[in-house]
C-alpha cells in the first residue's frame, strides 16, 4: 500500500498535499531508483496554475541528480507517452490531475516504453522518498523540447489513413475543458477536413474541467444541438479520455467506443486475439453484445494502467474504461482522447455511416453511479455494516445485475456502481444502498 500513489499516479490539492518540497523529494527518489545515471526525462503539464511551480521543483531535483530534463510544456498526457519513445528518453512525467478541479494537481509517470509505471515501481519510489539522495557531481541540463505538440499532432494524423478519411462536410463541436488538448485537437480535426466549433479551448488553468469537458457534457449537448453539428467531442483536462454526443442528446461512452472498434476490427479479421480488456465498471450489456459476436471481454480493476498491462500481457489490441479512456495498443499503450476520436471517425468513414448509428447498435444495461464523500473510503468499503448492505443489494438483484463498491483512487470518496436490466429496480436499489452508506459515514 502506498501513501501517495493512487489509481493514477499522485493526486491532491496543490500546495497542500502536493507541495514543491514533496515534488523535489519525489524527483530525487525517482532519480535514485528507476532512471539510469545520466538519463533523460521528459516533462509535460496541463494548464493548471500550479503546473509551472511543480515543474520547477521536478526539474531542479532531477537536474541536481545529474539527469537531463526536456520540457514539453502544455501538452496532453498521452503525448508524453509518444514522445518518450520518439526521443528514446528514459522516463516521462506529466504534471496533471486529469479530470479533477483546478485546485488539484498530480504526477503521472511513464517508463521508457511509454507505459505507466507498475505498482511495484511506485512502491520503490515511495520507499526512497526519505533519502538519502546523494547530489550528483555533474548537473543535468534543463532544455525545452522543440515542436513537441507539432510532432504529436503528426503522430495522430499518421495513426489513420488520412488520405482516404475525408471529414469535409462534417461539423464537430470540440470541448477541450480549458486543458492541454486545446492547441492540438481542433487543428487535427480541421486537418481532416471537418468544420470545427471550439468551446472551452482557451488555455485557462483556473477553469480547467469546471462545468465543461468530459466530466460535464451539458454545454456540449446544448451547442451541438443548437448548431445541428454531426458530433460533439469532449476531452478532460489532460486529454487521456474522450466522450461523444450527437445533436439528439445521445452519448457515446468508452464502453460503446470499445464495442465499435472491436466489432469493426473483427469483421475485417483484424482483431487477434478476439478479445478486449475492460474494467469491473464496464457495462454487462457490452459484454453480452460482444460475446454474441465471438469477442471475449477480460476485466481488470479500475484504472487504464491495469487495462494496459493486461492488454500487453495477453496481446490484446483494444481496451479501456467506460469513462472514456480507450487504448488502441497498436498505436499507444495508454488512453488517448484525440487518438480515440480520430480512430472512431475513421471506422465510421469505413462503414459509410455516422458514429451514433454504430453506437446505438450496442444495448447497454441501466447503470447508476453514486459517490459517498468520506474521510476514509477504504475503511468504509470493508466496514461490516457496509458489507451487509452490499450483500443485501446483491441478493435483491439476483443474477440480473451487479454491484461494485470501491474506494476512489484519486478522491476522498467511496464509489458505488449498480447495474441491472430493469431501470426502476436499479434506481431503487441504488437509493437504498446510498442512504445506508451515507448513514454509516455520518455515524463514523
Residue 73 Ramachandran class (φ > 0 left, ψ -120 to 50 alpha, else beta) = left
Q: In what helix (H) or strand (E) does residue 108 lie, and over which residues does it extend?
A: strand 104-110
Alpha helices in 88-137 (DSSP H): 119-127
Phi, psi of 209 (to 5 degrees): 70, 5
Tracing cell 478522491 back to the chain, one arrives at 411
Nearest to 177 by CA among 186, 169, 168: 186
Cell of 150: 507539432
Other Cβ atoms within 10 Å of 291 Cβ, number? 11
What's the longest Cα–Cα distance across the chain? 67
Helix spans in 192-233 (H): 218-227
End-to-end CA distance of the chain: 23
Give me the active site residues, please: 98
Q: Which of 110, 126, 101 is nearest to 44 (CA)?
A: 110
Query: Any long-range contacts for 154-160 (C-beta under 8 Å, 24+ apart)?
Result: 155/82, 155/86, 156/184, 156/188, 156/338, 156/339, 156/342, 157/188, 157/191, 157/192, 157/342, 159/328, 159/331, 159/339, 159/342, 159/343, 160/342, 160/343, 160/345, 160/346
Interatomic CA distance for residues 334 and 342, integer angstroms: 15
What residues contact residue 98 under an 8 Å CB cut-off, 6+ apart?
A: 8, 11, 77, 106, 236, 237, 238, 240, 241, 410
CA 197 to centroid of chain Cα atoms:
24
Q: Which of 170, 153, 275, 160 is nearest to 233 (CA)?
A: 170
Q: Which segments of 200-334 are extended strands (E)?
A: 231-235, 242-245, 251-252, 275-279, 296-300, 318-320, 326-328
Amino acid at each position: 500500500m502506498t501513501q501517495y500513489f493512487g489509481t493514477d499516479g499522485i493526486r491532491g490539492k496543490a500546495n497542500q498535499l502536493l507541495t514543491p518540497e514533496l515534488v523535489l523529494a519525489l524527483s530525487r527518489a525517482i532519480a535514485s531508483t528507476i532512471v539510469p545515471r545520466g538519463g533523460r526525462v521528459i516533462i509535460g503539464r496541463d494548464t493548471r496554475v500550479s503546473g509551472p511551480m511543480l515543474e520547477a521543483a521536478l526539474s531542479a531535483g532531477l537536474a541536481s541528480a545529474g539527469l537531463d530534463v526536456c520540457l514539453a510544456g502544455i501538452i496532453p498526457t498521452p503525448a508524453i507517452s509518444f514522445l518518450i519513445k520518439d526521443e528514446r528518453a528514459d522516463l516521462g512525467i506529466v504534471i496533471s490531475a486529469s479530470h479533477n478541479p483546478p485546485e488539484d494537481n498530480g504526477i503521472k509517470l511513464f517508463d521508457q516504453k511509454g507505459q505507466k509505471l507498475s505498482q511495484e515501481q511506485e512502491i520503490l519510489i515511495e520507499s526512497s522518498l526519505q533519502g538519502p539522495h546523494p547530489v550528483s557531481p555533474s548537473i543535468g541540463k534543463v532544455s525545452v523540447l522543440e515542436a513537441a505538440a507539432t510532432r504529436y499532432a503528426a503522430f495522430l494524423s499518421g495513426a489513420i489513413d488520412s488520405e482516404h478519411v475525408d471529414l469535409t462536410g462534417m461539423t464537430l463541436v470540440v470541448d477541450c475543458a480549458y486543458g492541454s488538448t486545446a492547441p492540438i485537437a481542433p487543428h487535427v480535426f480541421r486537418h481532416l477536413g471537418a468544420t470545427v466549433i471550439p468551446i472551452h479551448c482557451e488555455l485557462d488553468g483556473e477553469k480547467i474541467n469546471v462545468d465543461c469537458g468530459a466530466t460535464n457534457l451539458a454545454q456540449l449537448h446544448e451547442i451541438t444541438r443548437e448548431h445541428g453539428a454531426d458530433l460533439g467531442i469532449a476531452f478532460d483536462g489532460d486529454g487521456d479520455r474522450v466522450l461523444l454526443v450527437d445533436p439528439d442528446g445521445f452519448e457515446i461512452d468508452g464502453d460503446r467506443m470499445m464495442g465499435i472498434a472491436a466489432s469493426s476490427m473483427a469483421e475485417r479479421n483484424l482483431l487477434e486475439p478476439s478479445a478486449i480488456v475492460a474494467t469491473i465498471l464496464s457495462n454487462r450489456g457490452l459484454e453480452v453484445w460482444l460475446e454474441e459476436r465471438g469477442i471475449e471481454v477480460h476485466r481488470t480493476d479500475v484504472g487504464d494502467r491495469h487495462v494496459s498491462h493486461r492488454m500487453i500481457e495477453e496481446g490484446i489490441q483494444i481496451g479501456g474504461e467506460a469513462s472514456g479512456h480507450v487504448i488502441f495498443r497498436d498505436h499507444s499503450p495508454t488512453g488517448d482522447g484525440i487518438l480515440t476520436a480520430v480512430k472512431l471517425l475513421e471506422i465510421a468513414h469505413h462503414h459509410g455511416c455516422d458514429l451514433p448509428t454504430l453506437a446505438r447498435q450496442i444495448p447497454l444495461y441501466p447503470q447508476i453511479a453514486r459517490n459517498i464523500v468520506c474521510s476514509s473510503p477504504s475503511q468504509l468499503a470493508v466496514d461490516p455494516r457496509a458489507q451487509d448492505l452490499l450483500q443485501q443489494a446483491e441478493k435483491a438483484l439476483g443474477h440480473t445485475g451487479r454491484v461494485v463498491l470501491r474506494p476512489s483512487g484519486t478522491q476522498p470518496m467511496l464509489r458505488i456502481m449498480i447495474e441491472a436490466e430493469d431501470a426502476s429496480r436499479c434506481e431503487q436499489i441504488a437509493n437504498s444502498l446510498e442512504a445506508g452508506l451515507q448513514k454509516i459515514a455520518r455515524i463514523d
